[in-house]
Amino acid sequence: MAERGGSRKENGSALLLRFQRRHVSRERRHRVAEEPRGLADDEIDELREAFNEFDKDKDGLISCKDLGNLMRTMGYMPTEMELIELSQNINMNLGGKVDFEDFVELMAPKLLAETAGMIGMKELKDAFKEFDMDGDGEITTEELRAAMTKLMGEHMSSREIDAIVKEADDNGDGTVDFEVSSIPTSLPPPLHSRSFLTNQQTSVPLRPFAHLSSTRSLCHSTHCPGLMELKEVLQVLEQLAPLSLAESWDNVGLLVEPSKRRPVKTILLTNDLTDAVMEEAETMSCDLLISYHPPLFRPIKRLVQKDWKQQLVVRAVEAGMAIFSPHTSWDSVKGGVNDWLVGGLGSGQVSVLSQGLGGAPHSHKLEFMVRSTEELNTVMEELKACDGGTIQQHSINRPDNDGIHVSVTCSDSALTLSVHALLKHTAPSQSLSIVKLEKPPLPGHGQGRLSVLDQPLTVATAIQKMKSHLGLNHLRLALGLGLTLESSVCTVAVCAGSGASVLSGVKADLYITGEMSHHEVLDAVAQGSSVLLSDHSNNREAPAHMSLFPPTCDVVAKPLPPRLLPPPSVPNEPATKTPKYEVKMELENASLWKQFSSVGTEMIITKKGRRMFPGLRLKLSGLNPSLRYILLLDIIPADNSRYRFQGGGWQAVGGAEARLPDRVFIHPDSPATGAHWQNRTISFHYAKLTNNTLDSAGHIILHSLHRYQPRVHVIEARDVLRQRDARQKRKITETLDIVTCDPCDSADLLPQPTTGTDLQALALASLPPLPDPSCGYRPEEASYQDTLVPEPPLDLGQAFMASQMSDISLSMASGMQDTAGSEMANSMIDREKRYDDNLEAMLECVRMSHSNTWSKDPMMQLKVTALLSPELCVKITTLIAQQPYDPSLLVRAMDGEPIIFPGLDESEVAHLLCGLQRLNRIGEASVNKVRVLVDAEYTYMNPALSLVTMAMMKKFNKDSAWIWNTYQCYLKESRSLLLDALSLSKSEGFCLGVKLVRGAYMDKERKLAEKEGRLDPVHQSWEDTNDSYNGSLDVMLNAISQKHERYRIIVATHNEESVRRAAKRSDHRK
């Protein structure tokens, strides 16, 4: 095709382009507006020239794909939606091909609409002659200035007119020649390339304006030369990334529109609209502000100055500034943010995770039958009227004897009227069927990307590549279960922003996204995927080739811990003594289990937990009737394979998934005498199985599609306090095989035929010890040396079993804590790992307390400094002494929201967030009906501890006091602190649990205060401490007497007077 818009000696065209408007007389303008025109011959010739270029085989036809490319070549940039509609129209009505007449018919409305505000050479010459009085083909510059001022003065400043006149008279002779080549012929930028500049001066190429021929010069109709209207800019943005690609929950598009129309001179691109960005936009008189994240996300009911976002909106309206947000449409579009992000690890085969859907011109298909051609014509005329006169796509099938079958598509808005029209006719009403049409997928568009890398990487290399790609020094990493930094990465799944919902369940070696919650990370890690988080934003400016990637801010954060592996199993040691009694076990429903084994035992489990089917019922004999025994059930893998049902049976298809920490179900009758166990059928009906690896209800966790064996353990209650090598071992005569399947709620058993496994004998294994809750980190000796003498470490499992055979309730008090300035605190990474290990041990205590079936009110104690840095607590204490901090902000942080804490640097804020989320997991123990008592520590950090404890109370103590705080009554300010907490609980509506103690750090507090030059925080005498304790006790007892369901207290004291005081008030309340 000949070059368009080239340098030709048509200087009248260039002159008209300087005018940028149709500047003929008003009568001429009205006449043109009143007379609709068709395509001129030169326009048809140009269309023919373009058509012939794409008609490669010269058969006079082009395909739909060629038509789209042809339109783009001519400067028309159809959206994906327009091409789909056009393709459907061509396929339905034109047989899939387009000839030149069809092409002209399709293009004429677009061409005429575009040239409605333009004039060509004839109009240009006519306008020029109006000012060339002597007809010599020349006008003076003064005549040109006068004409432009008269015709364009209301739209152009005198400076702009002077610039055009000066450019037209390039030889300086004071005249302008219509045919002189000295007048520039290049198009202004908006007509030639349509670009806009952001505040970083980053050029984003947009749709070309139009094509120019040798006989038709076009002028763009705008208010100001070289500028675009807001509507046109929005059209360009829509072509760049259709808003229909955005997620349904998102709020994208034009959010604020000025009341007065004006050209868009300045566009500012930002990641988030903040006060600082608005000030910059106001300073530069910005016309359009493009904010990647929507500043208006949720509906607002009023515009007031109290809310900072509403302030910004009001300022934008007052400044006449438009606000546009693309957000997830820029993520989804092909070549957008997600494609840029996945390209950071190199080339690969990229696919879309969540397919984007396009819009369809019609939403429903109506199929019906008519008896004759006359009836068909009548019905079709009525249907066309229903859809505003639009010709609906339809196909007609004419069988010999069965009338005429018709298929018609219509829009959603026309569906009701179309159906009503068809129901008026007998044949269509009797044969009508309505089909909902699916939206067509858009290849390459959608949320998230999955890349199969051409060159596999290690995890460490992938991290370095992403740091370089994003321009960050820090990324957050969680290694998949059993993986290391040297593990191979072959597949990568990415999603910009918060991508957990898109990435969930995707099989990939590495997840890359902005942010995920703690539990979402654990889900990914448990399935073997490593997670790399860059936070929701970063501070890298976009590269030139991808100017849409949002500039963001860097946040330094800790590496996320990998999921803890189960402790290695300890081989059974030989028995050291021969049991006096020969214990025997008989499976009560052995015939049913054998029948299941013959066809393959297939167990149905769910995430919520299901009871075992068939049930496990057995009888015991050979027990000493007078001794007490504990019965336990655990379920272990039968082999190291994963199974799939294929070829009529269960076949091993790969290695087993990583073994989960063993859980034990304690029979609710334990401990009981041998006579008790031997006189009844023993059922494990209450044991529940689940495939939820994050289960917090204490169920036994099994992997789907694995083979397992249940084991029943019979242990003498007195043996739990002995060394492991002294435990007795006995034979059990039956074992069972279990193959678990994916969750199903419709049946308890799927009797698929399979080979099954022969019954075999299983020796009773000794109960493996539970993991040490301190995870190798023992409390410092100085923590309680005032009051406690260190004891030899006792196996936690042994202690737990011992408590079950007695009437003593077990209080799980974790002694783990950290102190400011300890040598172990030098490495923050080591400390974070230690804190996470502490968390796992505490959660194990919670699970044990939950399974403590005889206790009405189980409770676990903890120290906050086992989960949060003491140095940070000291600093927070100093900061809140200067400026109080709202606990509600910490509650939001526990739910994963960002947090701003004035006075803390980025690393401290990141560590605070991690600590709060650890405390949040402890608080969730309320689901297990286990109360959590936060123990007191030193006064120089107690205010910070009370702040986070109050935040936990606000979140978890809505209906009952699940989180308790400790008040040290030997401190002078203890009573006032208790009154403040009581007042806050009443105003905020949460329950309050209080433990009152006299104190354990009195001497140390005095010495520290003296060393640091602070006032002594401790009461001077025993009498003062006693008054403080009894006064605080009265405060709580008064509150309990008014609302006993909202307030609870633990009276922890050796003082007889205080105990009697509490007992007396308690009896009086009853």
Same domain assignment for residues 995 and 1044: yes
What's the CATH code of the domain at 616? 2.60.40.820
The answer to whether residues 258 and 383 belong to one domain is no
The CA-based diameter of the chain, rounded to the nearest angstrom, is 135
d(CA 732, CA 760) in angstroms, rounded, equals 10
Position 145 in a domain: no
Structure tokens at 936: 């007191």
Say if CB 59 and CB 98 are below 8 A apart: no
DSSP character string of 731-768: EES----EEEES--SS-SB------------EE-PPPP
- 10 contacts: CB under 8 Å, gap ≥ 6: 121, 185, 214, 217
Distance, in Å, from the CA atom of 693 to the CA atom of 676, rounded to the nearest integer, reads 35
CB 718 within 8 A of CB 804: no
Same domain, 122 and 50: yes
Least Cα distance to 845 among 961, 950, 932, 720 occurs for 932
Number of neighbouring beta carbons within 10 Å of residue 989: 11
pLDDT of amino acid 1069? 53
CATH of the domain at 313: 3.40.1390.30
The Cα-based distances of 262 to 144, 257, 258, 319 in angstroms read 26, 11, 9, 12
Domain boundary among 115, 135, 155: 135
Q: How many domains does the chain have?
A: 6
Question: Domain check: are 908 and 957 in the same one?
Answer: yes
Count of all residues that appear for the chain in the document: 1070
* Residue ranges, the chain, pLDDT below 50: 1-36, 117-121, 180-225, 391, 539-579, 719-812, 814-815, 822-826, 853-854, 1070
609: Cα within 13 Å, side-chain hemisphere:
14
Predicted confidence at residue 423, as pLDDT, reads 86
Tell whether residue 703 is among the known ligand binding residues. no
Q: What is the CATH number of the domain that holds 885?
A: 3.20.20.220
Determine, yes or no, domain membership for 425: yes
Separation between Cα atoms, residue 112 and residue 216, nearest integer Å: 13
Residues in a beta bridge with 157: none
Coil vs helix vs strand at 812: strand
Looking at the structure, do residues 929 and 962 belong to the same domain, yes or no?
yes
Please spell the DSSP secondary structure of 443-467, one letter per residue. Answer: EEEEEEEEEEEEEEEEHHHHHHHHH
- Does residue 308 form part of some domain? yes
Same domain, 402 and 461: no
Contact indicator for 919, 952 with CB cutoff of 8 Å: yes
Residue 175 forms beta bridges with which residues? Answer: 140
87: buried, middle or exposed (CB in 10 Å: 19+, 13-18, 0-12)? middle
- Angle at CA of residue 4, ends 2 and 10, nearest 5°: 110
Is residue 609 within 8 A of residue 569, CB to CB? The reply is no
419 with 449, same domain?
Answer: no
Q: What is the pLDDT of residue 571?
A: 45
3 state SS for 325-371: ECCHHHHHCCCCHHHHHHHHHCCEEEEEEEEEECCCCCCEEEEEEEC
CA angle 688, 693, 694 (to 5 degrees): 95
End-to-end Cα separation, the chain, in angstroms: 100
C-beta separation of 982 from 966 below 8 A: no
931 and 964 Cβ atoms separated by less than 8 Å: yes
Alpha-carbon distance 813 to 802, whole Å? 16
Both 379 and 349 in one domain: the answer is no
How far, in Å, CA of 285 to CA of 293, rounded?
21
How far is 708 from 640, CA to CA, in rounded Å? 10
Tell me if 579 is assigned to some domain.
Answer: no
Radius of gyration for the alpha carbons in the chain, expressed in angstroms and rounded: 40
Q: What is the C-alpha separation between 419 and 423, in angstroms, rounded?
A: 6
Domain contains 447: yes
Asked if residue 48 belongs to a domain, the reply is yes
Q: Where among 484, 511, 533 does a domain terminate?
A: 533
Contact in structure between 652 and 698 (CB atoms under 8 Å): no
d(CA 50, CA 2): 9
421 and 450 inside one domain: no
The answer to the question of whether 331 is labelled as a binding residue is: yes
Q: What is d(CA 688, CA 936) in angstroms, rounded to the nearest whole number?
A: 38
Domain hosting residue 914, numbered range: 833-1068
Report which DSSP code applies to 75.
T
SS (H, E, C) 402-429: CCEEEEEEECCCCHHHHHHHHHCCHHHH
Closest CA to 346 of 452, 474, 467, 477: 452
Burial of 961 by CB count in 10 Å (0-12 exposed, 13-18 middle, 19+ buried)? Answer: buried
Whether 12 maps to a domain, the answer reads no
DSSP-assigned letter for residue 614: S
Q: Three-state secondary structure along 229-247? A: EHHHHHHHHHHHCCHHHCC
Co-location of 638 and 678 in the same domain: yes
Cα separation, 490 vs 348, in Å, equals 10
Same domain, yes or no: 416 and 448: no
DSSP bridge pairs for 584: 621
- The DSSP 8-state label assigned to residue 1044 in this structure reads T
Residue at 400: amino acid letter = D
pTM to 2 decimal places: 0.35
Contact 1048, 993 (CB under 8 A): yes
For residues 679 and 701, the answer to whether their CB atoms sit within 8 Å is no
* Sign of the CA dihedral running 203, 207, 212, 216: negative
Residues 877 and 850 in one domain: yes
User: Is 293 assigned to a binding site?
Assistant: yes
Residue with tokens 């990914």: 524
Task: Find out whether 1007 and 945 touch, Cβ atoms under 8 Å.
Answer: no
Indicate the SS3 state at residue 83.
helix
pLDDT for position 509: 93
State the SS3 of 511-533. EEECCCCHHHHHHHHHCCCEEEE
CB count in 10 Å sphere of residue 248: 5
Cβ of 54: how many Cβ atoms within 10 Å?
Answer: 17
* Sequence-distant contacts of 384-392: CB under 8 A, at least 24 apart: 385/421, 386/410, 386/414, 386/417, 386/418, 386/421, 387/411, 387/414, 387/417, 387/418, 388/414, 392/362
Distance (Å, whole) CA 121 – CA 452:
57
Tell me which of 383, 417, 436 is where a domain ends.
Answer: 436
Q: Whole-angstrom Cα distance, residue 7 to residue 186?
A: 7
214 occurs within a structural domain:
no
CA 108, 114, 116, 120 torsion-angle sign: negative
